[in-house]
Amino acid sequence: MLFNKALILGIGLIGSSLARNLKEKELVDTLVVYDKNKENLAKAENLGFADIYTDSIKEGASDADLIIFATPVCAFGDLAKEVAQYVKKGAVISDVGSVKQYSLQEIEKYLNKDMGVIVVGGHPVAGTEKSGPENGFTSLFKGRWCILTPDDNSTPEAIKKLTKMWESCDMKVDTMETAHHDKVMAAVSHLPQLIAYSIVGTVADLEGYEHKEIIKYSAGGFRDFTRIAGSDPTMWRDIFLTNKQTVLELIQRFIEDLVALERNIRWDEGDKMFDLFKRTQKIRKDVIEAKQDQPEHEKRIMEELKKQQA
Amino acid sequence: MLFNKALILGIGLIGSSLARNLKEKELVDTLVVYDKNKENLAKAENLGFADIYTDSIKEGASDADLIIFATPVCAFGDLAKEVAQYVKKGAVISDVGSVKQYSLQEIEKYLNKDMGVIVVGGHPVAGTEKSGPENGFTSLFKGRWCILTPDDNSTPEAIKKLTKMWESCDMKVDTMETAHHDKVMAAVSHLPQLIAYSIVGTVADLEGYEHKEIIKYSAGGFRDFTRIAGSDPTMWRDIFLTNKQTVLELIQRFIEDLVALERNIRWDEGDKMFDLFKRTQKIRKDVIEAKQDQPEHEKRIMEELKKQQA
């Protein structure tokens, strides 16, 4: 056993998938899952992926030697404040937040080495556009990267244990400085997600178009954006608000480049467009070569979800 | 047999997939495929999906009772001019172009009812990000929509024959006015594709990032855009240049909406963002309910491609 008593705060897609791993792979003795939403708790209990299901921080945090924050990031501060009342000395605190500077700042206001606890930020880079405990599954993390962002409140032992935990979930583990993490994620995740939300809104709102027609012909490309824009609204709202400066900078860069492309179209600069499209084709090849887009993996995810929901 | 001698001009993804259908389903007696690229012709001959492989318009067009334009749209005009020298009276002319006003204007400059031929525009809304004859396959069209855009150069008999042809490819067939087609496609296809190219360019060009790192963590969302931006550069350049006015208008609309979202982030207007994200989630549901995103279909496509390439 890696931990005696573990508490997962929030049982959405990531929290519930982690819970499944901790039990199935026997990484913890007693697994407590907390959610303030009673409907989610009932679903979780029905699915049976933990030992204790509670909406009491006191019950969950007391005696826990591992506490993982897995709610939307804007809830971290209030939760940390409450956890601090019951946490035991030496407990390892981590999270799965997509924005690390904000998450750790909120957690470490109340939970830090002066309190006698150890904090190691974490971000398993995995997910689907589905949310809620019923959509989690064990192999969600398989083959993906988990980024740990240790700081002054971390210890080598805790980093080692968390590395082992995520590796047991079949993840590859990397460490990164928190600010650098947020910068990289703004580029590969936050900006693309924002653009997807934005374009789905634009196309849906166009006057002079029938909604039915847009949906009917969505296989022309639009539907790929609707898949991305079907993701959890609360989680993403929080990410954009808490990684604000970097996201705002990247939006400006994106608009600059889009306007250049607009100009290429207006002035018939086909060659310039062609050069860009050739470059993006090459980038696609790099992604495939780095095994970061594997139809096999997606297929397996779909099959697992189907099995589970049958 | 629906046609005695059919000529397909251009054997990319769509042309070669149509060729496979015409032969396998015995819709034509003699199938000629034309390509100016000798390497493509050799590949096609090797794959064996036609009867005659040629780079001579004269050989292909003479006596053909069906001629389908399936090259990038900017090549249509020159090809039509040459076809007009050899085409026989009563021949049915169609195409698979993604932009219908421009395509038909180019074709009908040289091929029209005054010439004694019949023209019916067509657009099978199907595809993958792959290009070239080796990436075509029979079931590419299955369950997708084909849009016919008849005009003054069309006849009911020719529309009926082409409807039958595309239905034999397992497509659902719809008819639309050419200008309306281009407007709808700008929204569901051209704008999304342009945005994908643009964002992949932006992220790849960001200074202060390592290319390797961007690729490594691309599963965070970026890779979905690289898939789309891996599509055929020539085809898309031509689409943007030939559906220019509508695409330019939509880019402006998109930027307007993106800037509003940027402002929401800057001024912490989480509620407004949340409302948009809830709406886009609902649109995703509409797409799934309209069966326009079917994991089953994508899976089948991947399996067929694998089988074929084995």
Inter-chain contact A222–B189, Cβ cutoff 8 Å? yes
Q: Is A253 an 8 Å CB contact of chain B?
A: yes
- Contact indicator for B218, A284 with CB cutoff of 8 Å: no
- The per-residue pLDDT for B302 is 57
Q: H/E element holding A28? A: strand A28-34
Average pLDDT of chain B?
93
Q: Is B234 an 8 Å CB contact of chain A?
A: yes
Q: Which domains does chain B have, with CATH numbers?
A: 3-176 (3.40.50.720), 181-309 (1.10.3660.10)
Q: What is the mean pLDDT of residues B200-223?
A: 89
- The per-residue pLDDT for A152 is 97
- The per-residue pLDDT for B290 is 84
- The per-residue pLDDT for A93 is 98
CA dihedral A161→A165→A166→A171, nearest 10 degrees, is 110
- Does residue A304 register a pLDDT over 70? no
- Does residue A296 register a pLDDT over 70? no
Contacts of A188 in chain B (CB under 8 A): 203, 214, 217-218, 220-222
- The per-residue pLDDT for B97 is 96
Inter-chain contact B215–A287, Cβ cutoff 8 Å? yes
- Does residue B299 register a pLDDT over 70? no
Q: Rounded to two decimals, what is the model's pTM?
A: 0.88
Closest alpha carbon within chain A to B248: A262
Closest alpha carbon within chain A to B230: A281
- The per-residue pLDDT for A307 is 62
- The per-residue pLDDT for A229 is 94
- Does residue B207 register a pLDDT over 70? yes
> A219-228, B210-219, B275-284, B296-305: lowest mean pLDDT where?
B296-305
Q: Is B250 an 8 Å CB contact of chain A?
A: yes
- Does residue A295 register a pLDDT over 70? no
Per-residue confidence at B303, pLDDT binned at 50, 70, 90?
A: low
- Does residue B294 register a pLDDT over 80? no
Residues near A39 by Cβ (< 8 Å), separated by ≥ 6? none
- The per-residue pLDDT for A130 is 87
Residue A305 distance to chain B (closest CA, Å): 12
Q: Is A301 an 8 Å CB contact of chain B?
A: no
Alpha-carbon distance A172 to B253, whole Å? 41
Q: Amino acid identity, residue B111?
A: L
Q: What is the mean pLDDT of residues B213-222?
A: 88
Convert the pLDDT of each residue in B12-48 to its tens digit.
999 999 999 999 999 999 999 999 999 999 999 999 9
Inter-chain contact B293–A206, Cβ cutoff 8 Å? no
Convert the pLDDT of each residue in B94-140 to its tens digit.
999 999 999 999 999 999 999 999 999 999 998 888 889 999 999 99
Q: Is B179 an 8 Å CB contact of chain A?
A: no
Query: Which residues of A, range 85-104, sit inside 8 Å of B by Cβ?
Result: none
Q: Is A234 an 8 Å CB contact of chain B?
A: yes
State residue A99 phi and psi, 5-degree precision. Answer: -120, 115
Contacts of B197 in chain A (CB under 8 A): 261, 276-277, 280
- Burial category of B302 from C-beta neighbours within 10 Å (exposed 0-12, middle 13-18, buried 19 and up): middle
Q: Where are the alpha helices (DSSP H) in B186-232?
A: 191-205, 211-216, 222-228
Q: Is A293 an 8 Å CB contact of chain B?
A: yes
Inter-chain contact B193–A221, Cβ cutoff 8 Å? yes
- Does residue B155 register a pLDDT over 80? yes
- The per-residue pLDDT for B293 is 72
- Contact indicator for B189, A161 with CB cutoff of 8 Å: no
Write the DSSP string, B220-238: GTHHHHHHHTTS-HHHHHH
- The per-residue pLDDT for A193 is 96
Alpha-carbon distance A73 to A75, whole Å? 5
> B70-74, B157-161, B205-209: lowest mean pLDDT where?
B205-209
Per-residue confidence at B243, pLDDT binned at 50, 70, 90?
A: very high
Q: Is A73 an 8 Å CB contact of chain B?
A: no
Measured between CB atoms, which of A125, A253, A295 is closest to B206? A253
> A12-26, A108-122, A192-206, A212-226: lowest mean pLDDT where?
A212-226
Inter-chain contact B236–A261, Cβ cutoff 8 Å? no
Average pLDDT of chain A?
93
Cα torsion A94, A100, A102, A105: sign: positive
- Does residue B291 register a pLDDT over 70? yes
Convert the pLDDT of each residue in A19-61 to its tens digit.
999 999 999 999 999 999 999 999 999 999 999 999 999 999 9
